[in-house]
Amino acid sequence: MSDNLTLPAQQGSTGASTETLLKVEGLTKHFPIYGGFPIKRKVGAVQAVDNVDLTVGVGESVGLVGESGCGKSTTGRLITRLLEPTGGKIEYAGQDITHAKRKQLAPVRSEIQMIFQDPYSSLNPRQTVGTIIKSPMEVNGINPAGGREKRVRELLELVGLNPEHYNRFPHEFSGGQRQRIGVARALALNPKLIVADEPVSALDVSIQAQVVNLLQKVQEELGIAFLFIAHDLAVVRHFSQRVAVMYLGKVVEVGDRDSLYNRPRHPYTHALLSAVPEVAMDDEPQDRERIRLYGDVPSPISPPSGCRFRTRCWKAQDKCATEEPPLVQLSDSRDGHLTACHFPEEPTVGARSEAVVMDPALKALEKDGGVSKG
Ligand SMILES: Nc1ncnc2c1ncn2[C@@H]1O[C@H](COP(=O)(O)OP(=O)(O)O)[C@@H](O)[C@H]1O
Ligand code: SF4
Ligand SMILES: [Mg+2]
């Protein structure tokens, strides 16, 4: 079992090539909302993903992070073509798959796999583990040398499960083991890209690291590229060479791991980082300020004008309401570190003397002594 693997404090470069495997441009998904009686018509749309640009290199692991509801799963489902995009372009290995039909998509489908958040609902309880892992091979007509059963046993071993458990049912496994089954199923077709949608969020903290380790092993040893979705910056830090931060359907900051974690330029990234206790590393300022991210993410049905983060941003000014900040490389940012903000953080984020409260309304309340600090 690979259970005794430990998380390295920081993963070194895995030598992932810079060749682009996945390229997403202007990716947009608006879910229509229908209303009216007796004739239903479109009355609005949930702007779940809006104009997202993203790349994943061959063998590279990219993290996609943001609060619940910001459009991470929708992005993952668009990329794996489980959802049809409203706009934009998805290119996989140089091929435009944005609106590819079933037949055109078939060879690509096997190369792009998804691991889901919930290891309970994503496995059919009435099928044996062998059947679950074997079925993608059957659907795609793949006959590995030595037969499918042999391949399944190899995969079980690879993910740290006992190959003898081939005929067991999902309920006979723990949550972490079920997620390993999900990983084995995703590996059955030798994918080149795995979209892992919060693969450890539903697991006990004590076993999250084991599953992250397994995925890291898969990425490094099999050279599989990952889009690793998480709401927690701590999880992706160990796993991703590059990280993109999403807010309300938009990518607000993207950069290589060290640059993003040590020199966040977007106030939202800064706030997310300050909320994560584990990120205090030797190589970063120990006196990072604490920012408390109050309030809810606004509704994606009518997102704020200009910068979507402005209703929670303590730095917001008039310009933020009228002009959407473009995602660009700022002066003093490292190559490839892009930020969408009119008034970004300094490249060396220093300590503030007091905590910054990110919700202006709560800030006012705190001043009046109406909300206890803590
Ligand atoms: N099928 C759907 N129909 C309508 N709205 C949806 C659908 N799927 C997701 N949404 C909405 O899109 C937004 C983004 O959702 P999601 O991508 O699941 O976010 P995340 O994974 O970051 O939590 C949310 O407001 C969610 O309610
Ligand atoms: S553009 Fe304005 S509101 Fe948006 S993050 Fe930057 S300072 Fe804050
Ligand atoms: Mg999600």
Per cent of the chain over pLDDT 90 is: 62
Closest residue CA from atom 24 of ligand 1: 69
Please tell me the residue having the least CA distance from ligand 2 atom 3.
310
Asked whether the beta carbons of 214 and 4 are under 8 A apart, the reply is no
Confidence of residue 2 (pLDDT cuts 50, 70, 90): very low
Q: How far is CA 79 from CA 21, 27, 97, in A?
A: 12, 9, 9
What's the pLDDT at 352? Answer: 38
* d(C-alpha 72, C-alpha 324), whole Å: 21
* Residue 109 pLDDT: 87
Phi and psi, residue 229, nearest 5°: -95, 135
Q: How confident is the model at residue 275 (pLDDT cuts 50, 70, 90)?
A: low
Ligand 2: distance of its center to the CA of 225 in Å? Answer: 32
Among candidate residues 359, 245, 252, 349, the one with its CA nearest the CA of residue 306: 252
Looking at ligand 1, which residue's alpha carbon is closest to its atom 16? 71
CB atoms within 10 A of CB 229: 26
17 to each of 228, 273, 330, 368, how far by Cα in Å?
Answer: 18, 28, 25, 55
Note the pLDDT tens digit of each residue in 225-242. 999 999 878 888 878 999
pLDDT in the model for residue 17 = 55
- Residue whose CA lies nearest to ligand 2 atom number 6: 341
Q: What is the pLDDT of residue 75?
A: 98
Q: How confident is the model at residue 8 (pLDDT cuts 50, 70, 90)?
A: very low
pTM of the model: 0.86
**Protein residue whose Cα sits closest to atom 21 of ligand 1:** 73
* Pairwise pLDDT comparison (102 vs 288), residue with the higher score: 102
The whole-number average pLDDT for the span 64-91 is: 95
For 251, the enclosing helix (H) or strand (E) is strand 250-256
Q: Could you tell me if the CB of 306 is within 6 A of ligand 2?
A: no
| Ligand having the closest approach to the CA of 72 | 1
Nearest ligand to the C-alpha of residue 47?
Answer: 1
Which of 268, 309, 349, 359 for a ligand 2 pocket mutation test, highest count of atoms within 8 Å of Cβ? 309
Mutate to test the pocket of ligand 1, among 28, 30, 33, 46 (most ligand atoms within 8 A of CB): 46
Mean pLDDT computed over every residue of the chain: 85
pLDDT of residue 349: 60
- Confidence band for 202, pLDDT divided at 50, 70 and 90: confident
363: left (phi over 0), alpha (psi -120 to 50) or beta: alpha
User: How far from the centroid of its chain's Cα atoms is residue 20's Cα?
Assistant: 18
pLDDT of 284 strictly over 60: no
Residue of the CA atom closest to atom 17 of ligand 1: 71
Residue 5: pLDDT band with limits 50, 70, 90: very low
Q: Could you identify the atom of ligand 2 that is nearest to the CA of residue 320?
A: 2
DSSP string, 64-79: EE--TTSSHHHHHHHH
The pLDDT value given to residue 351:
37
Each residue of 245-272: pLDDT tens digit? 999 999 999 999 999 988 899 999 988 8
Residue 356 near ligand 2, beta carbon < 6 Å: no
Q: In this predicted model, what pLDDT tens digit does every residue of 143-159 receive, in sequence order?
A: 999 999 999 999 999 99
Residue type, 138: E
